[in-house]
Amino acid sequence: MKATKQHRDFAIRLMEHLVVPTFVLDETGHVLIWNRSCERLTGIEARDVIGTKNHWKGFYTEERACLADLVIRNAAAEIPDLYMVDCSTEPDRGIYSAENWCHLPTAGGLRYLAIDAGPIHDEGGRLIAVVETLRDITVQKEAQDKLEVLARQDSLTGIPNRRLFDEYLVGEWRIATATDRHLALLMIDIDHFKAYNDTLGHLAGDVCLQQIARIVSAETRRDCDVCARYGGEEFAVILPRTDLSGALIVARRIAKAVAKARIRNPGMGKDANLTLSIGVAAYDKQCRPETPIELLAAADAALYAAKDGGRARVHAWREKLAA
């Protein structure tokens, strides 16, 4: 009996001094152990939580279940609703893993935590406690997020790239078709950009692309509008909740702003300025493409019609163009 107590006391001391933030709940959800690393992480001392169900106060501003609580309730199905990422590989054994942004009310700051929780059973298989461990992986998460942003951002202009454009288009298409809202798309090409590059060089061409990106972004004025570099000297603009007539207004505004900037194109003559060709298509009451690919193809067809028509113009896609 004395040996058993010694073993239990040793186990408790060991857990209290673990370098990994750890707390233990009994089978009713009351705190049994709140180790020193957990105190440092949360700013809450053990004496303030042991014997209570207030462990959530270390990580959240409003009362909610922690991962250990879900283990007690055998509620793995609730993890996706409460955590950003469900990493559980052995939920059938009651071992849960997740990741989440946590606002630490007492310690202060927003931290991204990797969390694991698992059950402790007695010899008869009865649940007697749950252990939850936490790792602060904020630095890794922020680095990962930055890499993901870079993967979706055009490095030259700083606006979304083709990959992010495609993701936005699919997302906005689903919203538009599910709610019967309008959705418009602009495809934009810089006229005679090769002549500009050949005459002034690629460094000047890069500066020009950056300037055009700023102008197009400035003229797509709503937060929901998305301006992206589609590739080379092509740009694309997604206009949610916009029909064809509204999109034409935006397209003409962009073309006018570029004309007003008077960007010289000596490759086309001493007094020549850069111009844009813009194709416009929409999912609205008059035009009903069936997929986002069809909408994109419609805007692209309108762009080529603008270029075939002499460039420096805005052209709208209508059903007859598809014939």
What are the tens digits of pLDDT across the range 133-150? 999 999 999 998 888 877
User: What is the reported pTM?
Assistant: 0.62
Give the model's pLDDT for residue 108: 87
CA separation for the pair 57, 36 (Å, rounded): 16
Q: How many domains does the chain have?
A: 2
138 shares its domain with 221: no
Q: Give residue 161's pLDDT band: very low, low, confident or very high (50, 70, 90).
A: very high
99 shares its domain with 198: no
Query: In which domain, by residue range, is 79 found?
Result: 2-143
Residue with tokens 């690629």: 202
285 shares its domain with 161: yes
111 shares its domain with 215: no
- Give the chain's end-to-end CA distance (angstroms, integer): 90
Structure tokens that stand for 259 in this block: 């004309």
Q: Give residue 18's pLDDT band: very low, low, confident or very high (50, 70, 90).
A: confident
What average pLDDT score do residues 49-73 get? Answer: 96
Give the model's pLDDT for residue 321: 45
Residue with tokens 């209508």: 318
Residues 6+ apart with CB under 8 A from 238: 165, 168, 169, 172, 183, 184, 185, 225, 226, 228
Q: What is the CATH number of the domain that holds 11?
A: 3.30.450.20
Domain boundary among 112, 143, 174: 143
Amino acid (one-letter) located at 123: E
In DSSP notation, 185-206 reads EEEEEETTHHHHHHHH-HHHHH
In DSSP notation, 102-157 reads EE-TTT-SEEEEEEEEEEEE-TTS-EEEEEEEEEE-HHHHHHHHHHHHHHTB-TTT
Residue pair 216/254 in contact (Cβ under 8 Å)? The answer is yes
114 shares its domain with 161: no
Give the model's pLDDT for residue 62: 92
Pairing between strand 314-316 and 234-240?
unpaired
What average pLDDT score do residues 163-189 get? Answer: 94
Average pLDDT, the chain: 92
CA separation for the pair 253, 226 (Å, rounded): 16
In three-state secondary structure terms, 7 is helix
- Per-residue pLDDT tens over the stretch 123-134: 999 999 999 999
In DSSP notation, 297-313 reads HHHHHHHHHHHHTTSSS
Domain boundary among 143, 160, 185: 143
158 shares its domain with 75: no
CA separation for the pair 70, 281 (Å, rounded): 49
Structure tokens that stand for 29 in this block: 């959800």
Closest Cα to residue 238, out of 320, 290, 170, 297? 170
Examine the pLDDT at 277 and tell me if it is beyond 80. Answer: yes
Q: What is the CATH number of the domain that holds 269?
A: 3.30.70.270
Sign of CA dihedral 291, 175, 166, 306: positive
What average pLDDT score do residues 103-132 get? Answer: 94
H/E element, 11: helix 2-16
Domain boundary among 98, 117, 143: 143
Give the model's pLDDT for residue 221: 84
Rg of the chain's alpha carbons, rounded to an integer? 29
- Per-residue pLDDT tens over the stretch 185-221: 999 999 999 999 999 999 999 999 999 999 999 999 8
81 shares its domain with 167: no
139 shares its domain with 178: no
